[in-house]
Structure 1
Amino acid sequence: MGVLRDHPELAVFLCLAGGYLLGKLRVGPITLGGICGTLIVALLIGTQHVSVNDDVKTVFFALFIFSLGYMAGPQFFANLNRKSLRFFALCLIELVCVLGIAFGLAKAFDLDVGTASGILAGAATESAVVGTATESIAKLGDLTQEQITQYQGHVATAYTVCYLFGLVTIVIYTSQIMPMLMRINLADASRQLWEKMRGASGSSIEADEREALPALVGRTYLVTTADGRSVAEVEAELDGEVTFEAVKRGSKLLTPQAGLRLTLSDLVLVVGQRAHVIGAGRVIGPETPGIPGVDTPLATRQVAVTERATEGKTIAQLQQDHPEFGASGVYVTEVLRSTDQRLPAASETVVHRGDVLTLVGARSGLDKLVAKLGAVVKNNTTDYIYLGLGIVAGSLLGQVVVRAGDVPLSLGTGGGCLVSGLLFGWFRSQRQTFGAFPPQAASTIKDLGLAVFIACTGLAAGPQAGPMLKEYGVLLPFAGIVMVLVPATISLIVGRKLLKIEKPLLVGAIAGQQCSTPAITSITQVAQSSVPMLGYTITYALSNFLLPLTGPILVGVLGA
């Protein structure tokens, strides 16, 4: 242990490796997860008085919380509408309940501010509260440095115990007990709801899947019926929905210009939407297998829609406004909204500013359309200028103190970076031409930032873990279970009786208000469907912003 004390960087990464290994252990549908595993390992190593400079913890927590906000920002603001208001009510139930119960337990059992905050963070299974609460404790003016260190250690220990019991409770309650209470078979109900929704919005595919029948296709035909007709005449008869990309006459490749007249036995390559290309055979002639030399590569562009004139128009209207679509053989194959919502490229799909259109077609035609619709999305490298300014803005915002009577309230670095992350992420989604933070990079920094922060917190809390567990051994598991059951049960009743939320969506939404990834994983396994995820993503985005703010609120109230 002397080596770890002299080289704390070894201790940090040992906590990460051991914690994520421990987090992979599975008991039925439940796994601890890497963050909880890291905290357990850090507490054990921390008992040997291994510590890390507090500045390391602050820096990595800022990276984590900004990345969290950046990823959630587009969806968070997209959900601030009348349609999502009923889901927002579930998040408010969660907030009021966990704050009320934590405050009540603190008063009833004379808990210190650190223990109460740890119970709140663990029972709500929201790791970010650990950071916002410990940071707020450090700013309480009437505490000595020794008390601050002690209370911050209590946050980590209480969080660990309550998290374990809260995690088990939310997983079992949402995936097993709630469907029984609502008298449904979750798999059947999810399938029925999906069939109903699919009729209105089209199907979707997972990230690791590809369409078996892609929308845009190319096919080759032998000219018989179209003998003597020009390329323009054939395209006009097909309503301009297909384009000629190549014509082969004998051994010669001809440029498919509008005035070119087709002759018997020409081989032509046409490209377009599947339904229209299939119908081209009746006008041109019989389909043939792929022909060497008759193949034109198509370029792909992801274009961020920035022009005001496109707002609220359907894809069909865009194609009418821009003849280049038909003339140049360019097609919309996908619409991406808010970084993760993939919409079908149907004629009636409405486009909004900030949407990303996937365009496929000849390179020359693509370049013309890009200039008229917006700009090519560049998301392959991180814009560190945007990232750095976002964290600076969040840190400055966190220094602002607002007094509610005698209670000083401050977002702190964590809360400030969360708010700035939301705003910077949303603003990026509206432009897509600057401020790139690729999803893989953001996810890596988010996970690494939280893991290092939790490791540092656990190492500092290690010496106090044993005495605290002896003092509050029974209370902590009880708090972890109660603070899950109460808000979840109220949300279940309100969601069904008052808000009329569809049952599969409600189960997912309750897991989301708790920010519990293990719970939604278990729910989707039971449902054999991703339908509950539709409810989960809304409340998860909202709670990810709101729950971390409960740490400073509770600390401010109890500290006063």
Structure 2
Amino acid sequence: MEWINNLFFGGGVAHSILLIALVIAVGIALGKIRIAGISLGITWILFVGIALSHFGMRIDPSTLHFVKEFGLILFVYSIGLQVGPSFFSSLKKGGLTLNMLASAIVFLGVGIAYILHVATGIPITTMVGILSGAVTNTPGLGAAQQAYSDMTGINDPSIPLGYAVAYPLGVIGIIVSIMAMRFFFRIKLDREAAAANHGDHDDTGAQRISIVLENPVIAGRTVGDISGLIDRTFVVSRVCHQSDGRTEIASNSTELNLGDKLFVIAAHKDEEALVAFLGHKIDMDFSEWEKLDSQFISRRVMITKPELNGKRLGDLRLRSTYGINITRVNRAGVDLVANRNLQLQMGDRVTLVGTETGVAEATKVLGNSMRRLREPNLIPIFVGIFLGVLLGSIPIMLPGIPQPLKLGLAGGPLIVSILISRFGPQYKVVTYTTMSANLMLREIGIALFLAGVGLGAGEGFVETIVDGGGYKWIGYGVIITMVPLLLVGVVGRLFYKINYFTLAGLLAGSMTDPPALAYSNAVAGNDLPAVGYATVYPLTMFLRILTAQLLILFAAA
């Protein structure tokens, strides 16, 4: 049975593939186990890799290095594609406060890690590993490893060792911090839910409003006229004329008169000004409009034609050509007001309202082919990876640092993917990937990366914990995890009066930690934690990756 021994403990391509597949399969299976509702998830791959490596199952270093780095690139690139469209918008308005607080958590954690490094004498490489594990951020681990490798030409096994030791209590510490905020401020969940329902609105999302026209200045003017009279984001979808009770799809030439009822789609932030300008708001349910305009149909249609990618909605002239209205555009689960300057993207779902014939003709123009969306757009992905690796390899000289700074194989692809997914449609670049395709790319990438890290870190892991003082790293990790969360959580609640559910999402997002988000969602019973998480996630992920390698480079210099 020598061949079996060689397959598991020998070398070659078959040995490498078998070992990586075994580590990933067992790790994912163990990740489904929950204790007290908490699971370490895919991170089990790391621990399985460490265990097998400890017992002598190892891979050729060059093969291991390739698997690890390629997995990291796939992972961070898919993250960038996902968060890119919302990255810049998340920095605006209400999101600015949340991102400011999340950034404070990031920098506090980095500061505490550096203080512990100075106070304890633990090498900065080990402390950065502890930091990445304590904040449950795997891309930060990859960025730190890659920065150290670029600087020295060798790998430091203490980085993944520190990560593996600190990670388990990092996951638990985040959830405990969220629970502690609830206990400290004596949060009543029903009161928080009531306050959220009363006061929380989406400033940019589409709102349905029914308005009776009472402004005599507008009487006799057309829908096209009023669009130029008030600088607000809105669409007049339907008009019910007072004179004869007739309901019609609003076009630019539709004439308005006093007493007409208007069905308007507007951004929440513009609702008050719009109602004051037109007349007064009435409590008219959408179902009543559907009864009035029974001759019209409403249908959601997917944008699937590549030539429409990046085009402005007004350029399609669907209203004048087919007599239909586009009232809303749903992008990544968010309803946007369909103003004429809105740029369309592949995968957008638009709401068409009009006659059956008009809607059918407009559908042909837009595509609505699910088969087209399922076809992978591989050229933008691999061109983006090429540009990301190129960007990450550019040396940047900074004063006082002997070694040039590089964004690396984590930072470069992340930045490029964010920029491509956000601005690509403006230059006719199709960046759309289905959610399942993006998730598959991301999960394969992180699985390969964690398997590579684990198989490379297993040698000496037990000795480090038992004889090398590694047990102390757990305590350092808990400090790095909980102190920033509790401090910023108190500031957010006391000074910014942030709703507890949103605050929970903020704390989970600042650590890019899905288990904490799952716990917060279960407690809240609404989507406020998810909104807070999504608002801070893009910037936090970027800062986690950047600060990890900066800490290595600056401290080592």
TM-score, reference length from structure 1: 0.75
Does 2:439 align with 1:438?
no
Most deviating of 479-488 and 361-370: 361-370
* DSSP-derived class of the 2:91 partner: coil
Is the contact between residue 299 and residue 351 of structure 2 (CA under 8 Å) also seen in structure 1? no
1:512 to 509, 521, 530: 509
Residues 374-411 of structure 1 show CA distances to partners (whole Å, capped at 9, x for unaligned) of 99895322211111110011001111222333323211
1:92 to 103, 106, 110: 103
- Measured after TM superposition, the shift of residue 331 of structure 1 is 5.4
1:183 to 183, 186, 202: 186
1:548 to 529, 541, 545: 545
Residues 217-260 of structure 1 show CA distances to partners (whole Å, capped at 9, x for unaligned) of xxxxxxxxxxxxxxxx9xx8532249xxxxxxxxxxxxxxxxxx
- Measured after TM superposition, the shift of residue 524 of structure 1 is 1.2
- Measured after TM superposition, the shift of residue 484 of structure 1 is 1.4
1:159 to 149, 160, 163: 163
Which amino acid letter does the alignment assign opposite residue 13 of structure 1? Answer: A
Which amino acid letter does the alignment assign opposite residue 3 of structure 1? Answer: L
Does 2:468 align with 1:461?
no
Is the contact between residue 397 and residue 416 of structure 1 (CA under 8 Å) also seen in structure 2? yes
1:404-423 equivalences under 5 Å are 404-407=398-401, 408=403, 409-423=405-419
Number of the residue aligned with 2:379: 385
Number of the residue aligned with 2:80: 69
* Structure 2 residue ranges without an equivalent (≥5): 209-240, 251-285
1:39 to 30, 39, 46: 46
Does 2:25 align with 1:17?
yes
Is the contact between residue 513 and residue 540 of structure 1 (CA under 8 Å) also seen in structure 2? yes
* DSSP-derived class of the 1:139 partner: helix
Which amino acid letter does the alignment assign opposite residue 352 of structure 1? Answer: L
**What is the percentage of aligned positions where both structures have the same residue?**
25
CA 1:528–1:44: 2 relative to 1, 3 Å: same
Does 2:532 align with 1:535?
yes
CA distance in 1, matches of 2:16, 2:46: 16
Is the contact between residue 154 and residue 464 of structure 1 (CA under 8 Å) also seen in structure 2? no
- Measured after TM superposition, the shift of residue 112 of structure 1 is 2.4
Does 2:288 align with 1:275?
yes
Is the contact between residue 394 and residue 413 of structure 1 (CA under 8 Å) also seen in structure 2? yes
CA 1:298–1:529: 2 relative to 1, 3 Å: closer
- Measured after TM superposition, the shift of residue 87 of structure 1 is 1.3
1:30 to 13, 17, 38: 38
Which amino acid letter does the alignment assign opposite residue 195 of structure 2? Answer: Q
* DSSP-derived class of the 1:335 partner: strand
TM-score, reference length from structure 2: 0.75
- Measured after TM superposition, the shift of residue 161 of structure 1 is 1.5
Which amino acid letter does the alignment assign opposite residue 170 of structure 1? Answer: I
Does 2:200 align with 1:193?
no
Is the contact between residue 306 and residue 374 of structure 1 (CA under 8 Å) also seen in structure 2? no
CA distance in 1, matches of 2:518, 2:386: 35
2:334 to 335, 341, 348: 341
Is the contact between residue 509 and residue 537 of structure 2 (CA under 8 Å) also seen in structure 1? yes
CA 1:363–1:444: 2 relative to 1, 3 Å: farther
* DSSP-derived class of the 1:70 partner: helix
Number of the residue aligned with 1:248: none
CA distance in 1, matches of 2:334, 2:77: 21
Which amino acid letter does the alignment assign opposite residue 275 of structure 1? Answer: E
Residues 475-509 of structure 1 show CA distances to partners (whole Å, capped at 9, x for unaligned) of 21112211111111221122123333233212211
- Measured after TM superposition, the shift of residue 80 of structure 1 is 2.4
Residues 184-221 of structure 1 show CA distances to partners (whole Å, capped at 9, x for unaligned) of 123541343135446986899xxxxxxxxxxxxxxxxx
Is the contact between residue 187 and residue 527 of structure 1 (CA under 8 Å) also seen in structure 2? no
Residues 281-307 of structure 1 show CA distances to partners (whole Å, capped at 9, x for unaligned) of 8xx9xxxxxxxxxxx997944376845
CA 1:353–1:83: 2 relative to 1, 3 Å: farther
CA 1:8–1:280: 2 relative to 1, 3 Å: closer
Is the contact between residue 313 and residue 344 of structure 2 (CA under 8 Å) also seen in structure 1? no
Does 2:495 align with 1:498?
yes
CA 1:310–1:184: 2 relative to 1, 3 Å: farther
Does 2:484 align with 1:487?
yes
CA distance in 1, matches of 2:532, 2:521: 12
Which amino acid letter does the alignment assign opposite residue 156 of structure 1? Answer: P
Is the contact between residue 313 and residue 340 of structure 2 (CA under 8 Å) also seen in structure 1? no
CA distance in 2, matches of 1:241, 1:297: 11
Most deviating of 180-189 and 389-398: 180-189
CA 1:375–1:178: 2 relative to 1, 3 Å: same
* Structure 1 residue ranges without an equivalent (≥5): 205-232, 243-272, 285-295, 312-317
Residues 54-98 of structure 1 show CA distances to partners (whole Å, capped at 9, x for unaligned) of 122222211111111111111111112233211121122122112
Does 2:135 align with 1:134?
no
* DSSP-derived class of the 1:87 partner: helix
Does 2:397 align with 1:397?
no
CA 1:376–1:186: 2 relative to 1, 3 Å: same
CA distance in 2, matches of 1:397, 1:61: 16
Between the two proteins, the alignment pairs up a number of residues equal to 468
Residues 427-466 of structure 1 show CA distances to partners (whole Å, capped at 9, x for unaligned) of 2465786233222111111111011111011101111212
* DSSP-derived class of the 1:379 partner: helix
* DSSP-derived class of the 1:401 partner: coil
CA distance in 2, matches of 1:537, 1:374: 30
